[in-house]
């Protein structure tokens, strides 16, 4: 399975819907992740109950599309010498541990818009007019912030992301502010008109379902993969073009921001689901654990441990009940 996605075989993407469907079906018949009575969508209130059939259908679709976008960015920007599709497989497998994979809420939508915003950032170039891309990026981040209000803090880092690639241009900075404020203002007007109260649940708008055990296992596997690939990653950065080095700086900024957001979410709102956001920039880092030219066996074994855990967790409650 890993070798299929690690190689330059575009038809491997045809198997991604099967993996997404597998997790969705497993959770339907062996519910490990359960729907919540109230789904929070930030400024937009309780738009769609998770009991609605649209919720468990649209949520996996967003994960699938997000995986395709991230993998396209990985290949188009030549993070490796040859195309591979391991980033999409990794994203789906890691995301399968989170509630937002199975049911739609504000955080699920916010993460999807963050991925679209990252796509706009990666379209910026040093010597090209970046006004349209900067506005689009800011607008998408603003939309994400309306669904997950805690993400509104990203505006501080948004300028930094642009300035890594682009020189300071006053018009672009103004467009960034305008693009970010437009959806926030519309969201604020909607919440005021509809009487949506932006309290603790609406501010964080993520599920509190994720267990500490899941965090330790998933986070530990991700960290171990990073350790396995750090040497390869550093070698790649040293040999890469100036533009690719800048993209790596952008990813480092995003990793630090998402980790800070995870810590803030945990200590203020006692939730851990936002850890899923860390895996967006990590999808450009974790593939290096598999090696540049030859597939590394150790990392492959680690991935299968993650995969078997992601599937086995659905069987665990049945095993536990049987033991009783």
| Least confidently predicted of 19-23, 47-51, 188-192 | 47-51
> What is the average pLDDT across 3-21?
89
**pLDDT value at residue 276:** 94
Low-confidence winner among 60-64, 65-69, 254-258, 267-271 (lowest mean pLDDT): 267-271
Residue ranges covered by each domain of the chain:
2-317
Residue 9 reports pLDDT greater than 50: yes
Does pLDDT of 51 surpass 90?
no
Are 52 and 117 contacting, i.e. CB atoms less than 8 angstroms apart? no
| Mean pLDDT score of the chain | 89
| pLDDT bucket at 202, cuts 50 / 70 / 90 | low
Mean pLDDT across 64-82: 94
pLDDT at 228: 92
Question: What's residue 284's pLDDT?
Answer: 96
Per-residue model confidence (pLDDT) at position 323: 39
Does residue 107 contact residue 145 with C-beta atoms inside 8 Å? no
Q: How far is residue 246's CA from residue 253's CA, in Å, rounded to a whole number? A: 11
For residue range 236-259, what is the model confidence (pLDDT) as tens digits?
Answer: 999 889 999 999 999 999 999 999
pLDDT-derived band at 114, boundaries 50, 70, 90: very high
- Summarised one tens digit per residue, pLDDT across range 207-228 is 878 888 889 999 999 999 999 9
Model pLDDT, residue 96: 95
| DSSP code, position 101 | G
Burial profile 236-253: b = 16 or more Cβ within 10 angstroms, e = fewer: beeeeeeeeebbbebbee
pLDDT confidence of 234, banded at 50, 70, 90?
Answer: very high
Residue 263: what pLDDT?
92
Between 296 and 56, the higher pLDDT residue: 56
CA 204 vs. chain centroid, Å, equals 16
pTM above 0.75, yes or no: yes
3-state SS record for the chain:
CHHHHHCCCHHHHHHHHHHHHHHHHHHHHCCCCCCCCCCCCHHHCCCCCCCCCHHHHHHHHHHHHHHHHHHHHHHHCCCCCCCCCHHHHHHHHHHCCCHHHCCCCHHHHHHHHHHHHHHHHCCCCCCCCCHHHHHHHHHHHHHHHHHCHHHHHHHHHHHHHHHHHCCCCHHHHHHHHHHHHHHHHHHHHHHHHHCCCCCHHHHHCCCCCCCHHHHHHHHHHHHHHHHHHHHHHHHHHHHCCHHHHHHHHHHHHHHHHHHHHHHHHHHHHCCCHHHHHHHHHHCCCHHHHHCCCCCCHHHHHHHHHHHHHHHHHHHHHHHHHHHC
Instruction: For the chain, give the percent of residues with pLDDT over 70.
Output: 96
pLDDT at 324 > cutoff 70: no
> How confident is residue 56, by pLDDT bands cut at 50, 70 and 90?
very high
């Amino acid at each position: 399975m890993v070798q299929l996605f690690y190689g330059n075989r575009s038809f491997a993407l045809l198997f991604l819907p099967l993996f997404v469907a597998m997790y969705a079906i497993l959770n339907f018949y062996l519910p490990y992740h359960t729907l919540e009575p109230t789904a929070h969508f930030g400024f937009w209130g309780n738009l769609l109950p998770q009991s609605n059939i649209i919720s468990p259908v649209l949520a996996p679709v967003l994960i699938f599309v997000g995986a395709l976008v991230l993998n396209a960015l990985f290949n188009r920007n030549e993070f490796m010498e040859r195309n591979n599709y391991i980033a999409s497989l990794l994203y789906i497998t890691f995301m399968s541990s989170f509630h937002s994979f199975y049911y739609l809420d504000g955080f699920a939508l916010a993460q999807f818009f963050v991925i679209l915003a990252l796509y706009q950032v990666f379209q910026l170039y040093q010597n090209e007019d970046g006004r349209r891309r900067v506005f689009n990026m800011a607008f998408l981040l603003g939309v994400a912030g309306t669904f997950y209000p805690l993400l509104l803090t990203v505006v501080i880092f948004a300028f930094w992301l642009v300035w890594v690639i682009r020189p300071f241009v006053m018009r672009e900075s103004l467009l960034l502010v305008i693009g970010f404020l437009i959806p926030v203002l519309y969201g604020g007007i909607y919440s005021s008109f509809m009487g949506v109260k932006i309290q603790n649940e609406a501010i964080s708008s993520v599920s509190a379902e994720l267990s500490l055990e899941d965090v330790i296992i998933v986070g530990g596997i991700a960290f171990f993969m990073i350790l396995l690939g750090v040497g390869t990653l550093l070698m790649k950065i040293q040999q890469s073009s100036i533009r690719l080095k800048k993209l790596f700086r952008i990813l480092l900024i995003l990793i630090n921001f998402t980790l800070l957001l995870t810590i803030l979410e945990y200590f203020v709102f006692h939730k851990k689901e936002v850890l899923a956001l860390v895996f967006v920039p990590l999808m450009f880092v974790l593939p290096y654990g598999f090696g540049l030219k030859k597939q590394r066996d150790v990392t492959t074994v680690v991935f299968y441990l993650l995969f078997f855990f992601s599937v086995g967790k659905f069987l665990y409650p049945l095993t536990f009940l049987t033991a009783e």
